[in-house]
């Protein structure tokens, strides 16, 4: 299968609560789209493999995220597209974070693509139990609080594609890949039209 090579760098934010199917979808997207893969767990697990709660983790969490965003920024500056596999549920609700992520992408002339993974509460619970990760223990013990703090489906202020991971994986992969490709082609078309308009204005002035 021939991979799609983005014409300009993309920042693909693959978001959703833990267990919503992000990593599975990411693996299949990356077989079709050329991008650097970043998963926050690959960094955090080196320090906190068994938890995503507690004072020590929460104190260092901003540092972990800062490190990840620095890696994102450096890749985008080099022209590499990035697929960022992280929940970003709380962050998406924060206007300051949305401004930050937009600015990060703009500085590298990258386009943001948001894809959110969704599933039913029942499916989510079953997945967390099935995968048996220690770091999911507190989520399962305090299930109602977890869903309140990390809502599966909430309003998003950024344009996005919702992917229901209760449905067929192959269909979801096609939809997500098409969303990425169509979004970039539309953006490229808008850029060409803007450039053409600027040229016409210059000629009119001359």
For the chain, domain boundaries: 10-205
Tokens found for residue 65 = 């995220």
Cα 9 from Cα 80, distance rounded (Å): 6
Q: Render pLDDT for 42-89 as a digit per residue (tens, 0 to 9).
A: 999 999 999 998 999 999 999 999 999 999 999 999 999 999 999 999
Q: Render pLDDT for 1-20 as a digit per residue (tens, 0 to 9).
A: 789 999 999 999 999 999 99
What's the confidence (pLDDT) of residue 199? Answer: 46
According to DSSP, the residues that pair with 36 across neighbouring strands are: 82
Q: Render pLDDT for 162-185 as a digit per residue (tens, 0 to 9).
A: 999 999 999 999 999 999 999 887
Let me know if 182 is exposed, middle or buried by CB neighbors in 10 A (0-12, 13-18, 19+).
Answer: exposed
Looking at every residue in the chain, the average pLDDT score rounds to: 92
* Whole-Å CA distances, 154 to 17, 29, 93, 137: 11, 24, 9, 24
For the residues 28-42, what does the mean pLDDT come to?
Answer: 97
Kindly tell me if the per-residue pLDDT of 205 is higher than 60. Answer: no
What's the confidence (pLDDT) of residue 203? Answer: 54
Cα 88 from Cα 195, distance rounded (Å): 34
Cα 20 from Cα 120, distance rounded (Å): 9
CATH class for domain 10-205? Answer: alpha beta
What's the confidence (pLDDT) of residue 184? Answer: 85
């Amino acid at each position: 299968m021939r991979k799609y090579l983005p014409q300009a760098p993309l920042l693909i934010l693959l978001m959703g609560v833990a267990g919503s199917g992000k990593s599975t979808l990411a693996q299949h997207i990356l077989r079709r789209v050329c991008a650097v893969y970043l998963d926050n767990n690959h960094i955090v697990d080196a320090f906190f493999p068994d938890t995503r709660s507690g004072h020590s983790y929460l104190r260092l969490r901003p540092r972990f995220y800062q490190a990840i965003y620095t890696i994102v920024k450096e890749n985008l500056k080099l022209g590499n597209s990035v697929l960022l596999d992280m929940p970003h549920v709380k962050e998406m609700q924060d206007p300051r974070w949305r401004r930050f992520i937009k600015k990060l992408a703009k500085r590298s002339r990258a386009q943001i693509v948001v894809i959110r993974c969704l599933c039913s509460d029942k499916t989510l619970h079953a997945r967390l139990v099935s995968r048996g990760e220690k770091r999911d223990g507190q989520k399962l013990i305090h299930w109602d609080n977890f869903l309140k703090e990390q809502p599966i489906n909430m309003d998003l202020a950024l344009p996005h594609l919702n992917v229901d991971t209760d449905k067929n994986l192959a269909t979801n992969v096609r939809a997500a890949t098409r969303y990425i490709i169509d979004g970039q082609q539309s953006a490229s078309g808008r850029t060409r039209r803007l450039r053409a308009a600027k040229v016409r204005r210059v000629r009119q002035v001359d």
